[in-house]
Amino acid sequence: MKDRSSSPPARVAVIGGGPAGLMAAEALSAGGATVDLYDAMPSVGRKLLIAGKGGLNLTHSEPAAMFRSRYGSRQDQLTPLLDAFGPAALREWARGLGVETFVGSSGRVFPTDMKAAPLLRAWLQRLRGAGVVFHVRHRWCGWTRSSTGSTRLDYATPDGEQQREAAAVVLALGGGSWPKLGSDGRWCALLEQAGIPVAPLRPANCGFDVGWSPYLSERFAGAAIKPVVASLVDSAGVQHRRQGEFVLTASGLEGSLIYALSAVLRDEIASRGSATLHLDLLPGHDLARVVSELARPRGARSLSSHLQSRLQLKGAKVALLHECVAASNFAHPESLGAAIKSLPVRLIAARPLDEAISSAGGVCFEALDERLMLRQLPGVFCAGEMLDWEAPTGGYLLSACLASGRAAGLGVLAWLNDQYSSADTPTDSSHGRQS
Ligand SMILES: Cc1cc2nc3c(=O)[nH]c(=O)nc-3n(C[C@H](O)[C@H](O)[C@H](O)COP(=O)(O)OP(=O)(O)OC[C@H]3O[C@@H](n4cnc5c(N)ncnc54)[C@H](O)[C@@H]3O)c2cc1C
């Protein structure tokens, strides 16, 4: 911010203490603002900590064009933010917190110890040292906008409702998945009441229901299917095809391969009522080889032992085969081979948002300017998963949350500068209390 020696630094509220809000607070305090960070939960960064449980995938090391393409239809909006704070900058930032990173065999980037807790601990310590004041158990529940552009924010706290003034606000309230960690999507109604377009929150990186027989559900829930290639052709005729692994659940499928295809599967189910995935259970064998192995005489051996000895096909893969193909297909090597190489599995529903890794939907980019400020509410900025973008797992989620948090923090600083250097009073954007 410009030097305004006669006036105290602007007081900025950051609401939401996930990676996006913490990064906004960091940019703001580094730029000279006084930052109050509010969070509804008793502590901040809960989803970040959970993300660290399975190995914190901070970002990805693939070439920039490929990296950007992971944000699909929103890559144009996110590219400037990611150009300003991309994977290399993110790794350097982590190093600044004493957290070294490494590139895994898949190109994904992790902290050396795979954990989130040391990074979060060091980050919070640095933020507190920089003067950021944390107010936990403060649920933002409404606001009154003054004619001077400042905002009076209403918080539900253990001591009752409290009001605080802020010269500018960063909302970093997260999406709607895993609501017990704090991001419950209840903010959508508050913004919609203020006339802000919000795309409905939907599950992303989620599992799907198939509706297994009791046999498969009871005997094979939790079993991994790997390696496998999953493919589908969407309504636009585009083929999606990936190799990886997934897990059978009591009602369907989940896991990295399914998450990677989840956006198209979810949208296909929404528009057509179901989506059919074709699974190649033996990606290392071509169809001719599978058929010729199946056609070999099996003597007195059962079909199960024949499948196991000739093709190493057993357990959950064979159970899946029995579940999804008619018994008549097992009689002929050609039809059984075709089923093994392209097993149709009909998905009927995405699992609910609260079980998903992340959310699609949120504040529409059209409502934001290039600084991530809401055009209709000058002085109010948005960042993180609450914006309307989605991406697969692979470090892309945290990358965009951190980049957008930083952009929003810098955006506030630039906006405040404009306000102070302008002789005019700020735009009157008075809105009623919306709690
Ligand atoms: C199991 C799991 C594993 C994951 N693993 C990875 C991974 O390895 N790599 C990766 O890139 N991503 C991962 N993610 C996704 C990643 O954690 C999220 O995308 C990221 O945390 C979103 O950051 P955010 O700051 O936008 O929101 P959040 O982290 O959700 O933070 C939002 C904050 O806002 C607060 N809040 C909400 N409403 C209010 C309110 N009204 N008033 C006050 N405070 C409020 C919440 O309490 C919360 O602290 C994972 C997610 C899950 C669930």
47-92 per-position pLDDT tens digit? 999 999 989 999 999 999 999 999 999 999 999 999 999 999 999 9
Q: 10: pLDDT confidence band, cut at 50, 70 and 90?
A: confident
- Judged by average pLDDT, the poorest of 2-11, 356-365, 367-376, 402-411 is 2-11
101 backbone dihedrals φ, ψ, rounded to 5° = -125, 165
> What integer pLDDT is reported at residue 5 of this predicted model?
52
CA distance 311 to 301: 14
Q: 7: pLDDT confidence band, cut at 50, 70 and 90?
A: low
CA-based nearest residue to 374, from 15, 173, 366, 26: 366
CA distance 145 to 375: 14
- CA 50 to ligand 1 center in whole angstroms: 9
pLDDT, one tens digit per residue, over 102-149 is 999 999 999 999 999 999 999 999 999 999 999 999 999 999 987 776
CA-based nearest residue to 356, from 198, 185, 182, 208: 208
Angle, alpha carbons 105-109-112 (nearest 5°): 95
The answer for 362, left when phi > 0, alpha when psi is -120 to 50, beta otherwise, is: left
Percent of the chain with pLDDT over 70: 95
Rg, C-alpha atoms of the chain:
25
CA distances (Å), origin 21, targets 134, 302, 382, 407: 11, 60, 9, 11
Ligand 1: which atom is nearest the Cα of residue 155? 42
In sequence order, which residues have a C-beta less than 8 Å from that of residue 314 and are 6 or more positions away? 304, 307, 308
> What integer pLDDT is reported at residue 434 of this predicted model?
36
Token readout for 364 is 């529409």
> What integer pLDDT is reported at residue 16 of this predicted model?
98
434 backbone dihedrals φ, ψ, rounded to 5° = -120, 25
> What integer pLDDT is reported at residue 150 of this predicted model?
83
Amino acid at 405: G
CA distance 360 to 208: 16
> What integer pLDDT is reported at residue 8 of this predicted model?
67
Ligand 1: which atom is nearest the Cα of residue 20? 25
Contact 153, 194 (CB under 8 A): no
Q: Where are the alpha helices (DSSP H) in 194-250?
A: 214-220
CA distances (Å), origin 143, targets 108, 230, 248, 368, 380: 40, 47, 45, 19, 11
What is the average per-residue pLDDT within 36-44? 98
Helix (H, G, I), strand (E, B) or coil at 428: coil
> What integer pLDDT is reported at residue 432 of this predicted model?
35
Ligand 1 pocket check for 20: Cβ under 6 Å? yes
CA distance 33 to 1: 8
Residue nearest to atom 46 of ligand 1 (CA): 182
Task: Quote the mean pLDDT of the chain.
Answer: 94
> What integer pLDDT is reported at residue 423 of this predicted model?
44
Contact 108, 395 (CB under 8 A): yes
> What integer pLDDT is reported at residue 429 of this predicted model?
41
Bridge partners for 164 per DSSP = 153
pLDDT, one tens digit per residue, over 159-183 is 999 999 999 999 999 999 999 999 9
CA distance 241 to 234: 11
Residue nearest to atom 19 of ligand 1 (CA): 397
CA distance 403 to 23: 8
Contact 426, 419 (CB under 8 A): yes
Ligand 1 pocket check for 207: Cβ under 6 Å? no
Helix (H, G, I), strand (E, B) or coil at 314: coil
CA distance 82 to 68: 8
> What integer pLDDT is reported at residue 55 of this predicted model?
94
What is the average per-residue pLDDT within 314-333? 95
Amino acid at 234: D
> What integer pLDDT is reported at residue 197 of this predicted model?
98
Local structure of residue 98 (DSSP, 8 states): T
pTM metric for this prediction = 0.93
pLDDT, one tens digit per residue, over 340-382 is 999 999 999 999 999 999 999 999 999 999 999 999 999 999 9
Residue nearest to atom 35 of ligand 1 (CA): 16
Residue nearest to atom 7 of ligand 1 (CA): 57
